[in-house]
Amino acid sequence: MIPVNDRAISEGLGDYAEILAIRAHRRANPISPALAAKRWARAKALRLGLAYWPALAYGPRIDPSAYVAAEQVLSARHGTWNPAAGCHGGWDAQGHHGLSAERVSEMWFAAGCADTPKFRAQVRSGILARKGDSLPWFLAYARGSSWCTAHACHIDALGALSRKAVAALGRLSPELRHAAMSGVQLPDYVAGRYVALRIRDLNWLSVSQLQAKLATASADGALRIRAALAGPRRAAQLLGQHATSALLSPAYPDVPLSLAGRLALGETPVQLAAGALTRAEAHAWLKDGAPELSPWILRRSGIDLRTRSVRIAQWLVAVHLRQQSAALYTERTTQIPGGGLRNWRAVDVLDELQDADIIAMSDGVGRVLERSAQRLGAAWLTDAMSDHRQLADRPCWAGRLPKCAVLLLTPAQLADEGEALNHCVGGYAESVRRGQCHIVSIRGKKSRSTVELSSDGRQVRQHHAARNGSAPRRHWQMVDAFIQRIAR
């Protein structure tokens, strides 16, 4: 039996019995609407020359010529849609590799439902226009929008700039766009959104200054300036090859590309070093490839130390030149809570130093360490004064203390005691928390002292007045009487 299709039936070919059998089979086994739509879309796309037939089957119902025009634009960049070869042809979801059929439909309506240059410009850029946008205005907006997205401005430019401001950026060259966005501050955030920055909020002063610089620079200098401001692709177009440090700053070929670009824009070596180096030092630093600044300063002077701060590194060099390096390695002794002693050296606490601890490069090691200790002590005191957590349980013998004696159980109480008498009892918080000692404040009418008792409260370890001076005799007598009372 020869298969008979609809065409054969329409032409009167085939046996009549066969025709009836085929029709009966089709009535008994109808195809689903989805399969019918799929077959129709395939046939329609074949007649139109459209490779991506799913747009007709599953996309919005618009003029098929819109999908044909869109595919012509997309296939030029992504290739023709071919699932067997793994090519999506730019018909992915919006924002991924191309456009979706829904996005093409929106662009079609924005272009007036016609295959116009405005429609193809939308497909090419992936950016949706508005119905009132002229083609030149939209092309400028698309360039500005793509630039803002690609260069990840310090503000969310597409959400913070008005459409007119984005179009204004698009009318500028890529080099001038950087200048227009330099120094633009984050706009106000009102009612859950940014207040859009307008054209006048862009940095037009910087644009005019850069234009003047380009006008007065030599041909090679202007080319380097443009390449430094442009992206990698644009720089390659301008220079005829990929931008390198040697091309942007011939005097310092080993510096990173970012610094080479800043040099091409007119910054001096001293400015690159943030004013921390002299002209000669900055020149030598860039000649060495602009490594991390503070290790370079120490290594250049032959000092085997490490610090994150440029100012501290320069101070260490000054100490070395004054031949006072021995003071950095001198062991110092500090009393710690509980009666112990801690030995340490200045080189062991370099990480605790800050730039503010060094007022002049002539400061000695002892003076800088003293300022650091005062700063750390002030910061610790501020935190401790606001800490009212009880460090340990109140001992049973605390109820026998005289009225003039106060058991100190919180960091705030200990810090207040140390601040009032100018001694180090504020640092005993950890010893009190561990139960290693108890601190009692004796407060008379005209005098005050602090007692450190053992963990059982039966032994006096220390008893000092202000500035670690001798406690009054009357206070000693009260403490002795109390210890005898709890020992019974």
pLDDT at 5 over 70: no
Question: How distant, in Å, are the alpha carbons of 52, 141, 180, 430, 435 from that of 137?
Answer: 31, 6, 19, 70, 77
- Residue 319 has what pLDDT? 92
Sign of the four-CA dihedral 463, 466, 468, 470: negative
51 and 109 assigned to the same domain: yes
User: Has residue 442 been placed in a domain?
Assistant: yes
Question: Does residue 133 form part of some domain?
Answer: no
Residue 406, domain member (yes or no): yes
pTM: predicted TM-score of the whole model, two decimal places = 0.55
Query: How many structural domains does the chain have?
Result: 3
For tokens 């005097």, name the residue: 251
Is 377 a domain residue?
Answer: yes
Residues 343 and 411 in one domain: no
Please choose, from the candidates 475, 390, 393, 466, the residue with its C-alpha nearest in 3D space to the C-alpha of residue 483: 475
Name which of 81, 127, 134, 88 is nearest 104 in CA terms. Answer: 127
> Is residue 156 predicted with pLDDT exceeding 60?
no
Q: How far apart are CA 447 and CA 1, in angstroms?
A: 124
Q: Which residue has the higher pLDDT, 82 or 229?
A: 82
Give per-residue pLDDT as tens, 346-378.
Answer: 888 888 888 889 999 999 998 998 888 888 777
370 and 446 belong to one structural domain: no
Question: Looking at the domain assignment, is residue 206 inside a domain?
Answer: no
The β-bridge relationship of strands 341-344 and 332-335 is antiparallel
Rounded Cα distance between 180 and 173, Å, is: 10
Q: What is the pLDDT of residues 67-85, one digit of tens each?
A: 999 999 999 988 888 888 8
pLDDT tens-digit series, residues 137-150: 999 999 998 888 87
Contact 352, 376 (CB under 8 A): yes
Core vs surface per residue 4-21: b (16+ CB within 10 A) or e = beeeeeeeeebeeebeee
Pair (54, 108) in one structural domain: yes
Domain boundary among 108, 125, 142: 125
- Residue 442 sits in the same domain as residue 361: no
Q: Print the domain residue range for 46.
A: 33-125
Q: Which of 356, 385, 414 is the last residue of a domain?
A: 385
In this structure, the answer to whether residues 427 and 378 fall within a common structural domain is: no
Q: Residue 401: is its pLDDT beyond 60?
A: yes
Q: Tell me which of 385, 410, 442 is where a domain ends.
A: 385
Q: What is the mean pLDDT of residues 52-80?
A: 91
Name the pLDDT band for 110 (thresholds 50, 70, 90): very high
- Treating both helix axes as pointing N-terminal to C-terminal, what angle do 64-78 and 101-110 enclose, rounded to 10 degrees? 110
For the cut 60, the answer to whether the pLDDT of residue 381 exceeds it is yes
The verdict on residue 7 lying in a domain is no
Asked if 404 and 433 sit in the same domain, the reply is: yes
Instruction: Tell me whether residue 199 is in a domain.
Output: no
**CA quadruple 220, 223, 227, 233: dihedral sign:** negative
- Do 109 and 46 lie in one domain? The reply is yes
Cα–Cα–Cα angle for 58, 104, 78, rounded to 5 degrees? 95
- In terms of domains, do 368 and 445 share one? no
- Residue 220 falls within a domain, yes or no? no
Q: Are 381 and 400 within one domain?
A: no
- Residue 319 sits in the same domain as residue 365: yes
pLDDT, position 179: 84
In this structure, the answer to whether residues 400 and 376 fall within a common structural domain is: no
Q: Which own/partner contact pairs does 362-370 have at CB distance under 8 Å and 24+ positions apart?
A: 362/318, 363/315, 364/324, 364/327, 365/319, 365/324, 365/327, 365/328, 366/327, 368/315
